[in-house]
Structure 1
């Protein structure tokens, strides 16, 4: 009998449609709520997307998964509530919406010492609480979040668990000088990572029930991915890198990207159509596509991994800040012109009450850190090898390290925030930096929208103890002022806006919830406690 290897994962949900992703043990037909889809094959693995259509807006239905007619989900004996499929309300909906977000989730391990150092998984703790709430509720829809936004580092291809290390040693020689050592090498090893990360009981149920939007960050591929042209040149010299980058982007396309897209966009994708029409393994198709996507880094156009979800009168723009980069010294951009034009168009398309911009890496860092990153970019562009070494050593690769793009995003947000149809709030949701904080932005001329940087990281990982002092120091006005004077002396333009922290920094494993209702918005930040539950560290009104 064919088995359900991974999933179901509830992905893009519209007012009348819902997309469910699965991985199966063999070729089969997958059925959900009377709708079926055949699997496609990648490196001997089998996947399907089932798009259920004709649903009622704002409805909430329990669902099952069948493979070739055999019931495989829900799993017996797990003690979890049913999985639900909840459609969106109509576009003019102004009722309550809840967005749960976070990033950087290191998977469960079988190493007690490592488990103790990583701490309680905040997303697992959130899922456990939600299961209890759903089981106790008369109406599951009343307690379910509207979206889960995973903002990068869903898997760690360069920092594997002890269990995966043993598995790799059983399957290949990690000491091969032409191989990646104890890092992920190919698509099959990536599929092992996703299985390791998404198989635990709590997370598997959560992903089956809450529509999940995802975007990659560096560890989904490798630390410092596309931080600079020097980094790309170094990686190009490694014999194992071409296979690794193809496998990384191909697996991201299968496990994350496909489900991000609405059905019309996905069906119009030539690659997706070729995959569905193919007879047999399609990895060569995906590897060719991945190679082109990687080669287009640095070009004015390229593959657009960014996407948009509209939920009532709240809009989510998930932005690729890794593969859309331009890394020429004379034209260094976080996002190429083609993709940025799409962001600008999507941000100003119609009226919304709240605009959310998902960026795996923060736009507004602690101000002193922002100045350091811009100064490092300035020095590296003038040939400083020390600046390039520091950039890679301490991850000086956030929006301020791409100063032209930082300013362009500031201009975009100010324009939307000042327009006649300005949202009540504009929030940049980010992760990556292994601590959480909320900051409010202000320009010299007041805007009609309130603008925020809302950062939540990690879901489950650590940060060196001294970084707590570094990040705290980054908000110190005295240091910020001194670095601002150095920046002006170097000829770097003034920052186009000011921002101050309204909460944090907080350290530890955390998830955050942004709740909107009409033109009101609130933020809740919760940290995993010593006993396994979640403890609220902040409740902040944003309007």
Structure 2
């Protein structure tokens, strides 16, 4: 079993996600659901209702009546959920860009990246460190929610276990090499990311909300129209992008939805009603990649008088030159509506930094103009090469969207969206070295 992952938690309801080895009944706190299947992989999302606000509930996970979680002799406290107390100050923790597997030494010279243990190159695993810290912390001081805002997995830079799995399935000397190629490999990648014991326990006790960035799919995903044309022409890309959206919906997005949202979600209904949801999700994934109207990944959560809005800064882009948008108009309208109202505090989360040092901001804005032809076709082609090489794709590289974001913040601060909140906080992922 992979999981459990505690996902949505409100005042009287919660959802818990698991992946199981076979079809079964998943039971938690007297609630049972049948797993759904996608190409031989089985998943359960248990919706818990009738809970008391501000209450704690220790829980076990039973599969066909046999308790499978917690594991025997676990060094961690029992898994428990705490329902939302609207009068309790919100504790929020966030992070991004996590490469799984670890102990911590510096990267050794002369060794290829795939030969390194990820912690040797990237430092301490902050997610595992958070778990170890919480183990010694009273539950009343635990975070109410953890936001994972991008690069939860690295489909293009997989760890040693996934490399070995790929080698056993296909010839890695042929594209896409040691990158994820299909849905089954994505499933293994998520298992590698979330199976470490301390991380597994952490995800079972702290509610998580997630949004993707590029490495969940591929480095520089949707950086430009030229990038999309280049990758759509690669024979291995269609199954990769389809599998990316399918697995993202199952492993990350599904748990972002409240029980009320789930009840209105047509795709969720179809997935539950079919014997194997692969075809349903594959069709949805193709439409998502095409930018079909109505498919949105941004979402909002309310924690008492605190409003948290998580913005899709990757899949919903408009990348045609001169029309570039970080977030398409329809989804941006949804974001604007989501922050409207009388909130004491507003938190806006995006997988890419909004504010940069002025020099970097100016470089990205200049590059956008050059790529759009401000200096002619020759410099436009050179600008595209620079854009990709230097990862010039933050909000500053989408000038119209940057202006829209600024106006949204100004409107919130001046009361255009309702009573001005006491604070407005923007948090972002992809801040590897803080610029």
1:362 aligned residue (353, 363, 370):
353
Q: Is the 8 A contact 1:10 1:211 kept in 2?
A: yes
Structure 2 residue runs of 5 or longer lacking an equivalent are 104-114
Q: Is the 8 A contact 1:109 1:162 kept in 2?
A: no
1:100 counterpart = 2:93? yes
Give the deviation of 1:86 after TM superposition.
Answer: 1.0
Q: Is the 8 A contact 1:11 1:213 kept in 2?
A: yes
Higher strand share: 1
Alpha-carbon distance in 2 for matches of 1:276, 1:289: 15
1:326 is paired with a residue whose SS is coil
Per-residue CA deviation, residues 75-129 of structure 1 (Å, 9 max, x unaligned), is 1122110111111123xx2x32110001000000596655322221112111101
Q: Is the 8 A contact 2:102 2:120 kept in 1?
A: no
* Partner residue, 1:524: none
1:184 is paired with a residue whose SS is coil
2:215 is paired with a residue whose SS is helix
Per-residue CA deviation, residues 484-540 of structure 1 (Å, 9 max, x unaligned), is xxxxxxxxxxxxxxxxxxxxxxxxxxxxxxxxxxxxxxxxxxxxxxxxxxxxxxxxx
2:145 aligned residue (147, 151, 156):
147
1:380 counterpart = 2:371? yes
Q: Say if 1:203 and 1:427 are closer, same or farther in 2 by CA, change over 3 A.
A: same
Alpha-carbon distance in 1 for matches of 2:79, 2:61: 10
1:316 counterpart = 2:305? no
* Partner residue, 2:286: 291
Q: Is the 8 A contact 1:306 1:318 kept in 2?
A: yes
CA RMSD of aligned residues (A): 1.3
Q: Is the 8 A contact 1:302 1:324 kept in 2?
A: no
Alpha-carbon distance in 1 for matches of 2:99, 2:65: 35
Q: Say if 1:50 and 1:318 are closer, same or farther in 2 by CA, change over 3 A.
A: same
Q: Say if 1:239 and 1:109 are closer, same or farther in 2 by CA, change over 3 A.
A: farther
TM-score by length of 1: 0.75
Per-residue CA deviation, residues 456-509 of structure 1 (Å, 9 max, x unaligned), is xxxxxxxxxxxxxxx3xxxxxxxxxxxxxxxxxxxxxxxxxxxxxxxxxxxxxx
Q: Is the 8 A contact 1:293 1:302 kept in 2?
A: no
Alpha-carbon distance in 2 for matches of 1:165, 1:323: 26
Q: Is the 8 A contact 1:109 1:163 kept in 2?
A: no
Structure 1 residue runs of 5 or longer lacking an equivalent are 437-470, 472-543
Give the deviation of 1:61 after TM superposition.
Answer: 1.1
* Partner residue, 1:124: 128
Q: Is the 8 A contact 1:29 1:68 kept in 2?
A: yes
* Partner residue, 1:422: 420
Alpha-carbon distance in 1 for matches of 2:130, 2:401: 35
